[in-house]
Amino acid sequence: MARLTKIKTRKRGDTTEILALVNHPMETGRRKNKKTKQKVPAHYIQKMTFELNGKVVAEASLGPAVSKNPLTAVTVKGAKTGDKVKVSWTDNKGESGGATGAV
C-alpha cells in the first residue's frame, strides 16, 4: 500500500529543520479489533533516514510506541537554499517509502 510522505524545511539562521510527515498506521500489535476481538497485527516504522545532497545526516529508530502518522524532525547546519533533501523509511512488514524535496 502506498504511504504518503511529506517533507517541509525551515531555515533559521545557519540551521535548517527538516520535517517529515508519514501517513502510517503505527500499530503496536496490542490493540484489539472491536468487532472481531482479534489483535490487530503490529505494523510500525522501524527506521527513517534523512539525507542532504546524497549524504546521510541523520537516522532515526522508531518503534511501536510512536503515534499514528508520525512527524519526525531533524536540524542540520550549513544547508543552503536549493540543496536536495531525501527522507526514506522502512517498516516491520517490509514496506518502504519516502520523499524528496529541496531546502
- Scanning the structure block, which residue is given the C-alpha cell 537516522? 59
- Interacting residues of 4 by C-beta distance below 8 A, sequence separation 6+: 22, 23
The pLDDT tens digits of the residues spanning 41-77 come to 999 999 999 999 999 999 999 999 999 999 999 999 9
Task: State which H helix or E strand residue 9 sits in.
Answer: strand 5-12
- DSSP of 17-57: EEEEEE----B-S--B-TTT-PBPPPB-EEEEEEEETTEEE
| Residue 3 bridge partners (DSSP) | none
Name the residue ranges covered by the structural domains of the chain: 5-32+39-102
Average model confidence (pLDDT) for the chain? Answer: 94
**Per-residue confidence (pLDDT) for residue 3, from 0 to 100:** 75
- Closest by CA position to 45, among listed 18, 30, 24, 15: 24
**Per-residue confidence (pLDDT) for residue 1, from 0 to 100:** 52
> For the domain bounded by 5-32+39-102, which CATH number is listed?
2.60.40.10
